Amino acid sequence: MPSESITLTIVQLDLVNSTKSIEVIYPELQNNGLRLFIENIGKIVDDAFKKSVSSFTIDTKLTQIDNEKIKVVQDVIDAELPPTNLSEKPDFNRITEAMADGYKLTFQSVECAYLFVKQFCELVKKRNETPNIKKWVFRIGAATDDIDYDESSRNQMVGIGFVRVKELETGAYPGWLFVDEPTYNALNALPEKITDNFSLQKFKNKKEEVKQAWGCQMMSDASLTTTPPQSQPPRKSKFDKKPFRTQITINNLLKILGDLSKEQNTAINIQRSYRACSPEGWEHLITDEIEKILENVYTMPQGELKYTRVELFVACLVADFQNSPSASRKLQGWAEKKINEFSDLLNQAKDRLKAKKQNKNSHLLIAIDDCKQKSALSHDSNYYTVKAWVIEDIEIYNYNTGTGCKPITLSDFDDKSFAIDENHKVEIKKLLNKCLEECLGKQHECNRENLTIEIFLPLAVLNYPVDCCEYEDNFGSVGLNNIFIGQRHKLVIRCYERLRPIYDKTRINSWEPKWKRLQEHFTCPSVYRDFILGDEENVKALIYVLDPPEIIGLKVVKAPKNIGEGSIFAVIFKTGIPVALWLKKNPPSLDCQSEIEQILSCCIRDLPETVREKRLDAKDNSDTHIGHHLSLLWEDPYSVPPTIHYINNR
């Protein structure tokens, strides 16, 4: 039976300070006490669940109680207690999989999920009114997502929503319900005005990344802090126990830089200076937190520099703020007092920044997504919508915060849909040229000579020849040389489906590790040794060949005939392969494999430019030249639209 996609709301709850409760119970009552403790929580969950679903028509396979944690405590209990007939009850596997103090539940409607949370909290409050009883307070998370449901699979429900709800529950304050954006929006659409009690809250996940959620306090306990923390305890700095090698007083510098980073539009200057002061090949942090950046700068080797890297970083900041002296006046005054011969260092910093700006890599991101509603009404075409962004310098771009990225206004295409097929070539050409016109306009400081165009296409049209759209000049007419966009600029294909939240698990487990391995080979010649040769005749076997973490690329010398599900493109998507080179069409009388391997004899990092040059070679004999038929998939997981976490199916 094939799997189906269905939207569910997942609720996860966890008892605060449950370990302390177990430590008190176990010495006195042993496993029998633990079982009673578990069953008391389970009874409240069960009662709230039954009340919440009583007024709804539900599908029991989708609205149910599920397990939250590995069944460690339950296994210990069952191993030591005498056998009972408990396991013979038909509902045991569905309900008793809930572990100790933690539960996960799925609901077909957000309204039903919220009603459960409300009923559950009311029952807990009633239980807490019992005299001389230890109060219970829970953390609760809720996330709404498209879940892949397969009744025949061991893991019947799969989706990134289960990951998100765990993060929300862990990040929630004691007694609070934290929900994600889709859940909040669905609650907001209800007539009861439930969201009036919600507010936007910040929390840190296990990776110390700052996240946001909509929060509502549902219960309280005087013995616990159930209000949002007003301030976090200061994080221990690497500088706390380290003597500074120069005259720089690090605490004063951090104070000045901290004030500077809070000013509007300073994040780009900080990132640019961070990179300008770095040694060649340094691995930079993806963060806007000034203390973490400064700590990272402090660890950089000084090399043959006369000054420390921290001093150079400060000088770069002062130089980059020269056009806005009010922003850096305090920093410059401090530097002139603390750094010997600062004027000489300032000149060096200006030279470094100038070189960085001249050699910067600019990117144009164009994301084309399915317009399912209009496509369903059409009998002859699929329709799509578009968004676009400009990244003036990819080195300073942070997709988590959007630093270094600007959206493009596409007035002719906003809130409109268009078709991508042989009958609508003019529309896609107009779209790409409009994006280029905006990107290279005066409002953006892009490097025209080092621009990469990244076009995110749905899987169904991944093989569309976007690189062959004609390039228009500034007067809106086709250039005299009839040059294609893929010949004028580096142009790579991206798979739009990789932006969806459901792909996050593959991103973490396959895509990012493969990309990082690819980066380790960036300067190695002869790329073809790291690429697997494949074709659509052995698609099923290819999944297993491409899956290992050391496999980073695919080359296809026979033009694929199929696209979408079950195609070689779907295999690339499922295995997280970051780079693939294929032919849209096989030119006659050519040894395509030799041609492809010749292209792949360059350094991996130069592959987009090598493909552009090969396309340019095909200018005069396009039909018979391999350059006219090349497609390059180049999936950098860190070069994605800043809205990656909010892109969902339309």
Q: Is the confidence at residue 462, as pLDDT, over 60?
A: yes
Exposed (0-12), middle (13-18) or buried (19+): which is 479, by Cβ within 10 Å?
A: middle
What kind and span of H or E run contains 369? strand 362-370
Higher pLDDT, 622 or 483: 483
Q: Which amino acid is at 494?
A: R
Q: Which of 270-279, 357-366, 496-505 has the lowest mean pLDDT?
A: 496-505
Among the residue ranges 86-95, 135-144, 189-198, 208-217, the one predicted with the least confidence is: 86-95
pTM comes to 0.61
Provide the pLDDT confidence category of residue 413 given band limits of 50, 70 and 90: low
**Residue pair 628/592 in contact by the 8 Å Cβ criterion:** no
What confidence tier does 268 reach under pLDDT thresholds 50, 70, 90? confident
pLDDT at 489 over 90: yes
Under the banding of pLDDT at 50, 70 and 90, the label for residue 650 is very low
Q: How far is CA 51 from the centre of its chain?
A: 37
Q: Strand 579-583 and strand 553-556: pairing?
A: parallel
Q: Which two tokens stand for residue 278?
A: 């770095």
**What is the mean pLDDT of the segment spanning 492-511?**
88
Q: Are 13 and 102 in contact (CB under 8 A)?
A: yes
Task: Enumerate the H helices of 190-266 as residue ranges.
Answer: 250-262
Beta strands 210-217 and 418-419, pairing class: unpaired
| 32 confidence band (pLDDT: 50, 70, 90) | low
Mapping DSSP onto H, E and C, the string for 218-263 reads: CCCCCCCCCCCCCCCCCCCCCCCCCCCCCCCCHHHHHHHHHHHHHC
Positive/negative CA dihedral, 441, 442, 444, 446: positive
Distances (CA, A) of 347 to 84, 167, 319, 334, 352: 82, 47, 8, 17, 9
pLDDT exceeds cutoff 90 at 283: no
Q: pLDDT averaged over the chain?
A: 79
Look at residue 267 and tell me whether its pLDDT is greater than 70: yes
Strand-pair partners of 14: 102, 139
Alpha carbon distance 95, 522 (integer Å): 51
pLDDT value for 500: 86
- Going by pLDDT thresholds of 50, 70 and 90, the confidence category of residue 515 is very high
Backbone torsions φ then ψ of 612, nearest 5 degrees:
-60, -45
Q: Is it the case that residue 381 has pLDDT exceeding 80? A: no
Note whether 142 and 11 are within 8 A (CB).
yes
**Closest residue by Cα to residue 124 from 106, 138, 140, 103:** 138
- Mean pLDDT throughout 21-40? 63
pLDDT-wise least confident of 314-318, 369-373, 459-463, 547-551: 369-373
Q: How confident is the model at residue 327 (pLDDT cuts 50, 70, 90)?
A: low
Where does the pLDDT of residue 553 fall: very low under 50, low under 70, confident under 90, or very high at 90 and above? very high
Res. 285: pLDDT tops 80: yes
Q: What is the mean pLDDT of residues 338-347?
A: 91
Domain coordinates of the chain in residue numbers?
A: 4-217, 250-358, 362-646
Beta strands in 37-101 (DSSP E): 64-66
CB 342, CB 326: distance < 8 Å? no
The mean pLDDT of 351-360, rounded to a whole number, is 89
How many Cβ atoms from other residues are within 10 Å of residue 148's Cβ? 15
Q: How confident is the model at residue 143 (pLDDT cuts 50, 70, 90)?
A: very high
* pLDDT value at residue 618: 84
Highest-confidence segment of 62-76, 95-109, 115-129: 115-129
Structure tokens, 214: 């909509």
Q: In this prediction, what percent of the chain has a pLDDT beyond 90?
A: 28
Per-residue pLDDT of 298-323, as tens digits, reads: 889 988 888 999 999 999 999 988 76
Mean pLDDT computed over 419-425 = 70
Residue labelled with tokens 């790291």 = 530
CA 30/CA 76 separation, integer angstroms: 11
Please say if the pLDDT value at position 193 is more than 70. Answer: yes
- Look up the CATH architecture of domain 4-217: 2-Layer Sandwich (3.30)
pLDDT of 228 reads 59
- In this predicted structure, what is the pLDDT of residue 417? 65
The answer on pLDDT for 425 being more than 80 is no
| Residues sharing a CB contact under 8 Å with residue 505, sequence separation 6 or more, in sequence order | 160, 163
Q: What pLDDT is stored for residue 68 in this prediction?
A: 40
Name the most confidently modeled range: 51-60, 243-252, 349-358, 615-624. Answer: 349-358
User: According to the model, what pLDDT value does residue 383 have?
Assistant: 77
Give the pair of three-digit tokens for residue 143: 């996330």
Count of CB atoms within 10 A of residue 327's CB? 21
